[in-house]
Amino acid sequence: MPLISVHDLHFSYPSAREPALRGLSFSVEAGEYLAVVGANGSGKSTLARCLNGLLPAPAGAVSVSGFDPSVRAERDELRKRLSLVFQSPPDQIVSSVVEEDVAFGPENLGLALPEMKRRVEGALKFAGLWQERKRSPRFLSAGQQQRLAVAGALAMEPACIVFDEATSMIDPAGRASILELLDELVHGGCAVIHITHDMAEAARAGRILALSEGRIAYDGESQGFFARDDLAELGLERPQAMRIASALGLKPIPAESARALSARIAGVSATCPELRAAAVAMDSPAAAVPVAALDAELAFSAENLVFRYLEGSGDESLALGGLSLALPVGKSLALVGATGSGKSTLLQLFAALANPSSGSVRVLGIDPSASGTDLRALRMSSPLSVQRPESAIFELYAGDEVAFGPRNQGLKGAALVERVLDAMDAVGLPYGAFRDRASRALSGGQKRRLALASVLSMRPQALVMDEPGSALDPGSRAGLMDTLFAAAKGRAAFVYSTHSMEEAARADYLAVLSSGRLAAFGPPSELFGKGFCADWGIARPFAAELAAELRALGMDIPIDVLHEDQLVFSLQGLRAGADPAVGLAKPSEPGAAADKGRGTAP
């Protein structure tokens, strides 16, 4: 008997027009590793909640170890066997002490103290948090908090753990530690269902279940799934490793590491002697510009910037510890670094929403803390789009929400309409179709776009955005970044933070933050190339990582390769004996290779 069996599962939310799930049937064996993928709104989270009875599935549709979540008496037995780990780490922590939080589940089961102690110790040691057991969860990093949630689930000694986008809100280092934990769980015989937007993560599972509009679009081995031509229609994409492999005519392998792929590429190249012969000495086209030497006008500058939260109280904490950088007018800047490294704080200072504790910051050439500064006007010319900006939406209708900013600028009538129309059209929510739509009824991706339109409608001089693409599916995410880069053209600056190195690589400059200090600043090609340092706590974009591995194997890959199309082009160029410099001097849009890759069957 399978561990989980789902038979013709339908589900509709009471107020929704369309059903969320329309007849799902599948089963999961004990110890299986399954990834569930699909665009925003395809029904993934609804499925997870139906599996353990948080949402009422129809009787007989779901069975876990023979228990039916629709039967009240069986629900607790089912939940003991199937645990859930959610997206947002702080929203699943109940207690104010780490070990007490892990004990929450066992307490609910009414277990005896010795048994609870055994389980808590086992779970905390497994999650690598035994040392932290007496601390308050709020002092843990996001990755540690999520590992705490895993420990809490594990203390129930379940047969299966469902991870509902559990890696989407944490930094790359925390994410890697969670993924390792998943592998160990599977290794230990626990079944894992991993709901994710990240295709490289999904490819780690042996089996993929793809949802589209509440139906199963695919259920089977990952190899077969990523060979499909219609991934873009599902709002998904192939992992980069597979795209690069197929562009080079190699067999794409799911979840292949940069090192493994580089060995295969080098293996093919070894039989192809002209590859090595075609060594071309290449200089980095965008050589690092020393910050001090920039005498162009500056959009943003920070000098010895220090910022402390809760200054003067017992809980004072240092967010920025003496940071200096300068961004010339007309450039984009990506901020990367671990959670708590100071990215959001710096963005707030750039948006004139906070005062430095010491040091100085200049926003569009103006010192926000100087007396006489029109702070309101400055904030509106360099407005911050906060993390999850859709949570600040308050107007009933989409058009009014977008009009809020321009109205505060004093606009009325035709001028106001023009602003709203332009902004809504720019983010792909056409004014005509969307102005009278209820803001709350929009989908997650549409709400994000609406929130961004309500910043663009002020015609700001600079765009300052905190993780603009987070928690969106790959299709919406890439589209959103394209929109933002298009909107940033002609403005003084575009500054954004991100945990995605591929997104970071699109900026003109990259600032690596570490514990409130600037670890590195320069063009991405430089920092992800020869200037890369493993101590920064960030990864390289996959293409840059692969390029580095290939160079380590003695191949002549230019040092500034960042995007997969550059890499593929240079490898093809090497193979053809042509001069790859032609292609590299003008990198095409990063999306181009993705389209090439998608069309190619293995």
Partner 1 sequence: MKNLEFFRRVSIGRYIDRDSPVHRLSPLGKYLWLLALIVPASLVRSALMLAIIAASALALALLARIKPGYLLKGFLPVLPLLGIAMAFQLIFTASGDQSPVLVTLGPITVTLREVGSIAALALRFLAMMLSLGLFTSVITEGDTARGIEDLLAPLSYVGFPAHALALAVAVAFRFIPIVAGELESVVKAQAARGSDFGAGKGGPIRKARAYLPLIVPVTIRALERAEMLAEAMEARCYRPKGRSRYVVHASGTLDTVARLGAIAYCAVLLIAAGRVAW
Show contacts with partner 1 in window 451-470 (CB under 8 A).
451, 454-455, 458
CB of 74 within 8 A of CB of 67? yes
Mind spelling out the 3-state secondary structure of 319-352?
Answer: EEEEEEEEEECCEEEEEECCCCCCHHHHHHHHCC
Interface stretch with partner 1, choices 56-64, 319-327, 449-457, 577-585 (CB under 8 A): 449-457
- Read off the amino acid at residue 218: Y
> What spatial distance separates the first Cα and last Cα of the chain, rounded to whole Å?
35
Least distance in Å: CB of 600 to partner 1? 41
CB of 63 to partner 1, least distance (A): 18
User: Restricting to residues 314-333, which ones interact with partner 1 according to CB under 8 A?
Assistant: 314-315
Nearest-approach distance from CB 109 to partner 1, in angstroms: 6
Residues 133 to 172 in contact with partner 1, rule: CB under 8 A: 138, 149, 152-153, 156
User: ∠ CA 32-239-203 to the nearest 5 degrees?
Assistant: 5
Q: Given the complex with partner 1, which of 74 and 219 has the nearer CB atom?
A: 74
Report 364-393 residues binding partner 1 (CB under 8 A): 368-369, 375-376, 379-380, 383-389, 391-393
120 binds partner 1 (CB under 8 A): yes
Tell me the longest C-alpha to C-alpha distance in the chain: 74
Q: In Å, what is the CA distance from 366 to each residue of 70, 308, 361? A: 61, 22, 8
Using CB under 8 A, pick the residue from 106, 143, 445, 469 that binds partner 1: 106
Name the DSSP class of 366: B
Alpha carbon distances (Å) from 126 to 182, 255, 351, 444, 566: 11, 24, 42, 35, 41
Give the C-alpha separation, 377 to 357, whole Å.
22
Could you say which residues in the range 468-507 bind partner 1, by CB under 8 A? none
Segment 75 to 94, residues that bind partner 1, using CB under 8 A: 76, 79-80, 83-84, 86, 88, 90-94
3-state helix, strand, coil in the chain (%, to 5): 40, 20, 40
Per the CB < 8 A criterion, the answer to whether 145 and 137 are in contact is yes
Contact positions with partner 1 (CB under 8 A) in 177-206: none
- Please select the residue that binds partner 1; options are 71, 113, 552, 582, rule is CB under 8 A: 113
Is there binding between residue 363 and partner 1 (CB under 8 A)? no
CB of 373 to partner 1, least distance (A): 8
Q: In this complex, which beta carbon is closest to partner 1, that of residue 262 or of residue 339? A: 339
* Rounded distance between C-alpha atoms, residue 553 and residue 222, angstroms: 29
Q: Rule CB under 8 A: is residue 131 a binding residue for partner 1?
A: no
For partner 1, which stretch binds (CB under 8 A), given 33-41, 59-67, 348-356, 583-591?
A: 348-356
Q: Tell me how many degrees the CA angle 315-320-325 measures, rounded to the nearest 5.
A: 170
Q: Which is nearer to partner 1, 11 or 86 (CB)?
A: 86
**Residue 354 is a binding residue for partner 1 (CB under 8 A):** yes
Q: Looking only at residues 42 through 61 of this chain, which bind partner 1 when binding is defined by CB under 8 A?
A: 49, 52, 54
CB of 11 to partner 1, least distance (A): 16
CB of 97 to partner 1, least distance (A): 6
What is the C-alpha to C-alpha distance for residues 71 and 517, in angstroms, rounded to an integer?
55
